[in-house]
Structure 1
Amino acid sequence: MAIEAKLNDIIQAAVSQRASDIYWLPTAEGYQILIQTTGSLRALAQMTTERAQQLMNHIKYRSNMAISDHRRPQLGAMTLILEKQTLNLRISAVGDFLDRESLVVRLLYEGESQALQYLIPRQRQQLSQLMHRTGLILFSGPMGAGKTSTMYDLVRQLRGQRLVMTIEDPVEIYEPQFLQLQVNSPAQMAYADLLKVGLRHHPDVFIIGEIRDAETAKIAVQAALSGHLVLSTIHARGVYGIMPRLAQLGVAPAVLEQALTAMSYQRLVPVTDGSVATIFDTVVMPHKIPQTTQMMTERWAQLIDEQLAAGRLDHATANQLKEA
């Protein structure tokens, strides 16, 4: 019970700061526990190697992972209820060259998108209006920026009106009114495989967790061109980095121009009142893309200055956002 109580204390501390991940990382003296929140790492605790290993073994046991294997990569999952809040945990463990194990716990909050706060409410209204169109809408931003939460929040307004299918790795938010599919590569259920099957169900709306390869990009674009509303995420450093990224994945510019409805870059930022909120740099097509290396629109800097002047952002956060 002492180990489980300690684990609950660590997770509760992370949840209170709305962390997305908890890290158990080896050091020269023992282990450090870090949390990822609002785009930065914060130290949570230090402990002995023995104590850390006990906690990691407990997590692995509850996640159906091999406790005796401390070096090979392992993945697992578990569900935890803390103070009536259900948390879905995704576990990743691997050992370093000295056979010291590291472990990461991804925290998935049920109903997270319902609590999503928009720094500029009119940005939510703009994105919401796009849900009544067809085509491809892409979201980029750093890990933990809330991209999946944003997509769910926006599409929930269509519940009961349209058939919504999600394809994710893993399913992060449970929504009983959506048809939710989960990637399972060993069972030949990759993103592209599930997309092909999903199209036969004729959904009105697709949420694709991530476009990460050429085949998924191609099928997502085809679905958008055939009259579906497709929302997905893609890795890019800014809103103007999305189209070049798709070009790298083999999507022809002329085809993308027809399929793309909007693209958005988002960040989760600390607000001066102590909360966290999402801010977006959104481009709705058609839009003239600048022939430069800039990643963000000119409007991005203006929005940050407006929020700084209104006292909602501090100078450090504003400067960090402008350097995106």
Structure 2
Amino acid sequence: MSLEFEETAESVGEILEDAAVDTEGAEQPAPPSSVGAIASDNHRERFEAPEITRMVDLPPYDWILTGSSGVVKAPLVIEDFACVVGHVTHIKGDFQKEDIEVQDVPRMVESQSIELEVWVLCTGRVRDRSKVHLADLIGTARKALPGARVHNRPRLTTAAIIEALYERQNSDELLSGGDVSNEQQDFDDIGRYALANKVSDIHIEADRESAQILMRQHGRLRHYKDLAPERARAICSAAYNTLTESGSTRDSFNERIFQNAVIDRPYEEGRVRFRYASMPVAPEGFNVVLRLLPIGVEADHQSYEDLGYAESHVRDIRRAMGKSSGVFIIAGTTGSGKSTTLQNAIEGIAMERPDQKIRTIEEPVEYRIRGASQTPVVRDESKAGDGKSENKPFVDAIKAALRSDPDVLMIGEIRDTVTAELAIQAAQTGHQVATTIHADAWSGVVDRLNLIDIDGGTLSQPGLISGLAYQKLMPVLCDHCKIPAEEWARENAGTPEQKSMIGRLSEIQNNDLDGIYFSKQNGCPECNGVGIVGQTVCAEVALPNNAMLRAIRQGDIIEARKAWRDQRSEEPGDMTGRTAFEHAIYKMRKGICDPRDIEHRFMMLDELFHLDD
């Protein structure tokens, strides 16, 4: 039975309604509307917001009908920002839609062998500014696919989504041409699974007898699958030899030496950059670690509270970021979520201050920051080890950004003396700067900057450092299956290590374990058998006061830290002057975090009594 479609209310002619077109068909500037108006105060043009911001929100489709292998030709001026997709709704005949080549679609639609629903996808800019070309595209689709149901009203999406669709089309062409090996397909299957399940790192471990793949999900390393060591070598060899970016490798796969590379893959769920690192392991084995960096992902905005910051943290961060100049630095180790916090902080500023110009320098652009001009930078991996040459593109991008009249500048990471000096220069010339650095405490930021030749006299200038934060991610327990501490202790505290941990927990809790929970080993259906449902930030924030600045100038970081600790209050939820470790303890007491995770990621629980020793 064929599917009956209702007609859309808008015709192709109506798409052109309100668009100023002269008698020759050339577009004229349209009057401002409530959506596409040009704001007189900041001269920033606003287009209609996209309704599709994730690949999973796309209408169902079987083919991309525009592009290199498509059957619908898009006007040149909009071809990168619009595409046409088609979905089979009914088949008449003894065949499957998987058997249909895209070139055969027009003939099969015209002969009524298939019924096809067609959508036009475009950006808000195309919808508001290129209506004539958009109408041409819809008309071309109707002519190329006679009898198909072509929706007249386009669906609005982002340029990143359209780019991903065309990347997928190119990838499918390679697959159909037989140019992709089984090992490459295995690699992509692993990558897709990791992306869909929010995995941060993939570990491939192989020796003479066996091999396995582990994945770090929500901060915990978990077994994914076992495989033959020969298969593991074949997958890693194919990935390194054929999928790496040009210039990121200097040799072929060799499990007996250290190797690094960059692999960029387009998937339906989004684009991913893998940072590949391998090392030999005795005897006759190797480990490959792939860090996942999603590229250009459209994610919902998260507030500081959503990320896990305490109310007192949020108050201090807003005060620091509310200053017209100064450097705000978020510290953390690899995988601590500092980049995510920074990106959401910058997007928050963009939402609150639409009249300011915000620029970012990132390697790479992992998440789209609405309201900011984002510049991606790729280091020259062929010059890895030569810090000056390797980081030159990053430095050049910062210099260019400073010449482009920004109000707020986000630098993805301070990585060397030159990067730090440029951030300081920007703050000293009246810009607000936000960045990240690798350090293990807010006070560690000062030590790290000292190590790259930024002296205490510079750092102690009043107003230069607007604020310092340090954060670490902690797994969040599943509310549906987490186990009360008393029950867990009865069933699991059998080894000396477990008994000792329970003893430390009881000590800091004065033997009251009520409200403390542990994760269930195999989880439950609600958490997909993991026992963990996400990660939360545990943090510490410092706003330098005069006492702290004097200590920093004198090179006395212990005294600076003491001055910060003196700000503590008696209120348990007030994290002013309290460490990220204390924030984690607070969340443990709220039933959010497992005590074992705190000891694994910070220190033994009874160190709580010795923080000021």
TM class, shorter-length: 0.7 to 0.9
Residues 243-290 of structure 1: per-residue CA shift (max 9 Å, x gap): 121112111212212211111111111112332111211111226446
Residues 194-247 of structure 1: per-residue CA shift (max 9 Å, x gap): 222221112122222221211211121111111111111112121111112111
Matched, 1:285 2:544: yes
Residue 212 of structure 1 corresponds to which residue in structure 2?
415
Structure 2 letter corresponding to 1:179: Q
Residue 225 of structure 1 corresponds to which residue in structure 2?
428
Q: For the residues of structure 2 that align with 1:323 and 1:255, how far apart are their CA atoms?
A: 33
Contact (CA 8 Å) 1:164, 1:203: kept in 2 or not? Answer: yes
Contact (CA 8 Å) 2:321, 2:328: kept in 1 or not? Answer: no
Instruction: Note the 1:1-324 alignment, pairs <5 A.
Output: 3=183, 6-15=186-195, 17-60=197-240, 61-64=242-245, 69-71=252-254, 73-82=259-268, 85-94=269-278, 96=280, 102-109=287-294, 110-111=297-298, 114=301, 117-120=306-309, 122=311, 123-124=313-314, 126-133=316-323, 134-159=325-350, 160-175=354-369, 177-185=372-380, 189-258=392-461, 259-273=464-478, 274-286=533-545, 288-289=547-548, 291=558, 299-300=578-579, 301-320=581-600, 322-323=602-603
Q: For the residues of structure 2 that align with 1:158 and 1:236, how far apart are their CA atoms?
A: 25
3-state DSSP class of the match of 1:211?
coil
TM-score normalised by L of structure 2: 0.47
1:101 deviates by: 6.1
Contact (CA 8 Å) 2:321, 2:466: kept in 1 or not? Answer: no
Q: For the residues of structure 1 that align with 2:252 and 2:342, how far apart are their CA atoms?
A: 37
Stretch moving more, 304-313 or 314-323: 314-323
Asked which structure has the greater CA Rg, the reply is: 2
Contact (CA 8 Å) 1:93, 1:101: kept in 2 or not? Answer: no
Q: For the residues of structure 1 that align with 2:404 and 2:585, how far apart are their CA atoms?
A: 46
Q: 1:112 to 1:58 in 2, by over 3 A?
A: farther
3-state DSSP class of the match of 2:194?
helix
Contact (CA 8 Å) 1:112, 1:149: kept in 2 or not? Answer: no
Contact (CA 8 Å) 1:24, 1:102: kept in 2 or not? Answer: yes
Contact (CA 8 Å) 2:218, 2:534: kept in 1 or not? Answer: no
TM-score normalised by L of structure 1: 0.84
1:68 deviates by: 7.9
Residue 139 of structure 2 corresponds to which residue in structure 1?
none
Task: Using CA pairs under 8 Å that are at least 6 residues apart, name the structure with larger relative contact order, 1 or 2.
Answer: 1
1:41 deviates by: 3.3
Instruction: In structure 2, list runs of 5 or more residues that go unmatched.
Output: 1-174, 176-181, 384-388, 479-532, 549-556, 566-576, 605-613
Contact (CA 8 Å) 1:118, 1:279: kept in 2 or not? Answer: no
Stretch moving more, 91-100 or 249-258: 91-100
Residues 295-320 of structure 1: per-residue CA shift (max 9 Å, x gap): 99551254333322221122223444
Contact (CA 8 Å) 1:113, 1:149: kept in 2 or not? Answer: no
Q: 1:268 to 1:304 in 2, by over 3 A?
A: closer
Q: For the residues of structure 1 that align with 2:206 and 2:451, how far apart are their CA atoms?
A: 37
1:3 deviates by: 4.5
Contact (CA 8 Å) 1:25, 1:31: kept in 2 or not? Answer: yes
Contact (CA 8 Å) 1:270, 1:317: kept in 2 or not? Answer: yes
Q: 1:130 to 1:70 in 2, by over 3 A?
A: same
Q: 1:199 to 1:231 in 2, by over 3 A?
A: same
Q: 1:150 to 1:49 in 2, by over 3 A?
A: same
Q: 1:39 to 1:288 in 2, by over 3 A?
A: farther
Instruction: In structure 1, list runs of 5 or more residues that go unmatched.
Output: none
1:33 deviates by: 1.8
Q: For the residues of structure 2 that align with 1:106 and 1:310, how far apart are their CA atoms?
A: 32
Structure 2 letter corresponding to 1:283: A
Contact (CA 8 Å) 1:32, 1:47: kept in 2 or not? Answer: yes
Q: For the residues of structure 1 that align with 2:561 and 2:599, how far apart are their CA atoms?
A: 17
Q: 1:190 to 1:4 in 2, by over 3 A?
A: closer
Q: How many residues align?
A: 322
Q: 1:129 to 1:292 in 2, by over 3 A?
A: closer
Q: For the residues of structure 2 that align with 1:69 and 1:293, how far apart are their CA atoms?
A: 50
3-state DSSP class of the match of 2:272?
strand
Q: 1:142 to 1:42 in 2, by over 3 A?
A: farther
3-state DSSP class of the match of 1:96?
strand
Q: For the residues of structure 2 that align with 1:57 and 1:280, how far apart are their CA atoms?
A: 40
Q: For the residues of structure 1 that align with 2:602 and 2:250, how far apart are their CA atoms?
A: 45
RMSD: 3.3
Q: 1:321 to 1:63 in 2, by over 3 A?
A: closer
1:102 deviates by: 4.6
Residues 117-155 of structure 1: per-residue CA shift (max 9 Å, x gap): 422452345424433222111111121111111111011
